[in-house]
Structure 1
Amino acid sequence: MKKDTIKSLGFGQFAGQQSIDRRTLLKVSASIAAGATAGLLLPSGHALAEEPKRGGKIRVATNDASPADQLDPARLNTFTDGLRTYFVYEKLTEIDANGKHVPQLATSWGSDKSASTWTFELRPGVTFHNGKKLTAADVVHTYKRILDKATASLGRSYITDVKAVRADGDSHVVFELEAPNAEFPIRTALRWMGIVFEGAADFPKDTIGTGPWKLQDFQPGIVASYKRNENYWRSGLPYIDEIESIGIGDEAARLNALISGEVDVIQAVNSKAVARINGTGTAKALVASGGPMATFSMRADTAPFTNNDIRTALKHAFDRKRFLDLAFDGVGVIGMDHPVPPSDPFFNKDLPMPKADPDMVKSLLAKAGAANTEFELHTSDANYGGSNAAVVLGELMKSNGAKVRVTRHPADSYWTAVYMQAAWSASSWTVRPTALAWIEAGWIKGAAYNEGFWSDPRVDQLVRQAKQELDETKRRKMVYDAQEIIAKDGSSIIPIFVPWIDGVNNRVQNLKAHPLLFCGAGQWAEVWLNA
């Protein structure tokens, strides 16, 4: 497809000239690429209190660095991995700090009339850190790696409908899908989709991207350091010369490092610490609303959680508002055991909130022969709310007739040694850009993050149909139905959605809270230091 053809594809040409929003994303025109992305891709142009200053070093501390750290964007698995890859790599498209889907390495994109073939036009003049020019071949290599089962990319589950990806010259990339997918362009903004150069396969050696900083040193579990990319395609950026990322798994130690000035930014601040940080006079809490999700998933393939009566009993063994107040100081919104947050336009607002019901708990556990069973819940401080959140949940469940023992584990080994291995474990989810993306991530057969080891053919079918449905009203009904099945029969307790909360030294300027990830999702090109 030629360049002029892409530009000619206009809004609303599919599904009877429907209105377009961030969820449908049937087309982003070249005019948007040129004029509507200043907040992400170009110097922002908005008035700042002071003129940005060049230079300096930022130290950031994350909560789940470990010896398993790695820098392959296709294979990232932790908060630490995700943040670090944002410094080095860029994607075809991005989600900005306002939650808008915008161009990044692509300037425009469009599809055929069925939304089953998508073509992206690449930004000219972009080079990798090694001086190689960005071409369509690099994008093709990147996506073929993600799609290759041998890569074991957690991002693969979001693009399994891609049957072929090919270059159309140096500046156009064509994706052919198995079926129509109106949401495909937004999938290219997911964090696993960082573009690597053609042939890259050996990481961390091949940690070479097009992003604002170049990798300098990497010691898994200890440190990753970066220096400014002098040839970055965004003229004059980044402002910061160096970034050093370290891991501090202990929540209190991480907070003290910020307050003492040992580090400039900390990830994963407990809501109970917000007032303390804001009261220091030297730092502030950065809060982003959105859909980060605390889950307590039971393995539906492992006794005793193979029995849905037990799962249902535990879902009704606590008061969700009280849990939110005690574990998160009331900062967050209540969830209803499916993964779609209330802020999503496809959230099923008709479902009733599960309520604490001791009589139901007693009856269901007795029916399942588990009246005297003690259920073990595994957690660590790497989760939202720290281990304390699971302790609070366990105590509330005890008061409503379910015996629960909470086992705490070290943060640095939790995701590799406990998560998705123990029969019942806590976890913390970052944000997905659409309701369908949430459900596909962990609640369909073969999903990369199916931490509850549960699926239902009805949900699988609804997801398939919804991805192909260009009529928004019909698609919403399908997503509503999927949420109802997951809430009723699924194996995940999803009591709340929490905001991202980071701690930032006052000398760090223009770091914007981001709806998709801690620490501004690593979008730091316009961040500067007021020394």
Structure 2
Amino acid sequence: MRLSRRQMLVGAGLAAGLGPWLPAMAQPRTGGHVRAATMSSSTGDTLDPAKGALSTDYVRHAMFYNALTDYDAQLRAQPCLAESLDSADQITWHATLRSGVRFHDGSTLTADDVVYSLLRHRDPATGSKVRPIASQIASVRAVSPRDVEIVLTGPNVDLPSILAQSHFMIIKAGTTDFTSANGTGPFRCRLFQPGVRTMGVRNEDYFRPGKPYLDSLELIGIPDEVARVNALLSGDVHLINAVNPRSARRVRDSGTHALLETPSGLYTNLIMRQDGVPTGNPDFVLGMKHLFDRQLIKRALFRDFAVLGNDHPIPPIHPYYRADLLQRELDLDKARYHFARANLPSTPLPIYASPAAEGSVDMASVLQEYGARVGVRFAVNRMPADGYWSTHWMKHPLCFGNTNPRPTADLVFSLFYKSDAAWNESGWKNERFDRLLLEARAQGDEGLRKEIYGEMQEIARDHCGTVVPVFINQIDGYDQRLKGLVPVPIGGMMGYRFPEHVWWEG
């Protein structure tokens, strides 16, 4: 596989490498200040790309850093800091860096910076969220100031896509202080107040000519969706993510704002810890999977801004989606049968939900109602959005999660389903699944690769302690004077990469 400089130049022009993302006749304008609000913000906000966990982190990192590769609107890996990335055997990869790229402190990007940035993910002290993924990297070395050799522990055809993740963005060699940001990205860090706001100003030395278009960009978090929509419609902010489908009409009818809908792999899932009681009982797991009214959730909770899920993380829009798997549906008789075999306690089973996990509070209420019909009592504990991920997620036998889309099947399986993954939410372990994951990475034949991923979807559907009822279309709301936004299926706000690509016509 090779990502060449020619590929980069083919997409160049008006959008400086991302021409297909923009309308054919669009004429970006320079200037203006934009304020954006995402659904999360806390004292855990970080400027360290390795530690990014929430949408606010991903946007913040896109402001200040770049990766070796980047995604286009079809989630294909394209050159970014690396003008080429090639391999003959999918194990040993060679990257050639762009010349003349500078960090915000004026120093020149070199191979040493790439070596430092990639290897730090393997150090437990770094606290990298993608350490399980980085464990595939056996070595990284500087061949010359502009050339890097990356050797993997085994073949992986997805490496260019992996390196496009925001976690793998490049920092200056030796960086340990992240109270500010010293990256190569489109904005320089003017202010960073964790849990409050982030301010960036245009990087006049950015390597993509003409970009960014904005003079400055401010990023804040507003956890409450109603407050977020109110801030948009009042003009306090110009772009928000995670608009609730119930608010969609209100935004559309304003006359001055619009919606950007992005089909994606986003899902809110019920987590049944396999090390808990009774959640570790296979009959309890199957009972819960039959208790979900997926059609109701799609229609009533998400106003059809969603598609049905089948208890695995690969959405129907994905090229490896296995369409022939029998769709699991609401079946109270089967649920009652499995719950009877699970020997449940007589006390109510607590379910932890939060607005932080989109739709989870309403899903929990629906489960409570259907549970009563089959003789199972649930106690719904609604937790505030602030602090939910650090205090409750994966901390209770029965709780909800919310997973952002990932560009490849390997990434979502490696991060959330592999036995030793830090984010293996239910704590399940399946040796067959783990072996297939390694086989898929090495398989260059697309047909065979699809078969492997298809079996993995079936294993997760039948045995993993999670329920994925629907995949949620991401809905952003924006001021119509903000131009250049297009859907990118990895996530809202153009896959969280909007800072470089939008402009203001106010």
Tell me the TM-score normalized by structure 1. Answer: 0.91
Residue of structure 2 aligned with 1:280, choices 254, 277, 281: 254
Matching residue of 2:408: 434
Residue of structure 2 aligned with 1:241, choices 201, 215, 236: 215
Correspondence list, 1:261-272, <5 A: 261-272=235-246
CA contact (8 A) 2:256 2:479 kept: yes
Q: How many residues align?
A: 504
Matching residue of 1:359: 333
Partners in 2 of 1:39 and 1:370 — Cα distance? 62
What's the secondary structure of 1:199's corresponding residue?
coil
Could you tell me which amino acid in structure 1 is paired with residue 80 of structure 2? Q
Residue range with higher mean Cα deviation, 369-378 or 47-56: 47-56
Partners in 2 of 1:348 and 1:47 — Cα distance? 33
CA contact (8 A) 1:318 1:400 kept: no
1:384 CA drift (Å)? 2.1
Matching residue of 1:469: 443
Partners in 1 of 2:489 and 2:249 — Cα distance? 21
CA contact (8 A) 1:143 1:193 kept: yes
- Per-residue CA deviations over 1:161-215 (Å, capped at 9, x if unaligned) read 110011110111111111111111211011201110111111123x111111011
Could you tell me which amino acid in structure 1 is paired with residue 270 of structure 2? F
CA contact (8 A) 1:327 1:392 kept: no
Residue of structure 2 aligned with 1:184, choices 155, 159, 168: 159
- Per-residue CA deviations over 1:81-134 (Å, capped at 9, x if unaligned) read 11111111110111123333211111111112x211011111111101110111
Matching residue of 2:359: 385
- What do you get for the CA RMSD once the two structures are aligned? 1.8
**1:57 corresponds to 2:28:** no
Matching residue of 1:406: 380
Partners in 2 of 1:314 and 1:186 — Cα distance? 35
Tell me the TM-score normalized by structure 2. Answer: 0.95
Matching residue of 2:144: 169
Residue of structure 2 aligned with 1:101, choices 77, 99, 107: 77
What's the secondary structure of 2:468's corresponding residue?
strand
Structure 1 unmatched runs, 5+: 1-25
User: CA 1:38 to 1:478, structure 2 compared with 1: closer, same or farther past 3 Å?
Assistant: farther
What's the secondary structure of 1:226's corresponding residue?
strand
Partners in 1 of 2:372 and 2:73 — Cα distance? 41
Residue of structure 1 aligned with 2:65, choices 66, 69, 89: 89
Residue of structure 2 aligned with 1:138, choices 113, 120, 123: 113
Could you tell me which amino acid in structure 1 is paired with residue 472 of structure 2? V
Matching residue of 1:78: 54
Residue of structure 1 aligned with 2:171, choices 196, 212, 237: 196
- Per-residue CA deviations over 1:361-404 (Å, capped at 9, x if unaligned) read 11111111117453322121122236334434443444455432
User: CA 1:343 to 1:40, structure 2 compared with 1: closer, same or farther past 3 Å?
Assistant: farther
CA contact (8 A) 2:308 2:469 kept: yes
What's the secondary structure of 2:402's corresponding residue?
strand
User: CA 1:403 to 1:247, structure 2 compared with 1: closer, same or farther past 3 Å?
Assistant: same
User: CA 1:264 to 1:48, structure 2 compared with 1: closer, same or farther past 3 Å?
Assistant: farther
**1:459 corresponds to 2:430:** no
Could you tell me which amino acid in structure 1 is paired with residue 72 of structure 2? D
What's the secondary structure of 1:158's corresponding residue?
helix
Residue of structure 2 aligned with 1:123, choices 75, 98, 107: 98
Matching residue of 2:501: 526
Could you tell me which amino acid in structure 1 is paired with residue 29 of structure 2? K
1:486 CA drift (Å)? 1.0
Structure 2 unmatched runs, 5+: none
1:219 CA drift (Å)? 1.2
Could you tell me which amino acid in structure 1 is paired with residue 269 of structure 2? T
Matching residue of 1:488: 462
Partners in 2 of 1:98 and 1:474 — Cα distance? 22
Matching residue of 2:419: 445
Partners in 2 of 1:528 and 1:507 — Cα distance? 8
CA contact (8 A) 1:213 1:229 kept: yes
Residue range with higher mean Cα deviation, 384-393 or 494-503: 384-393
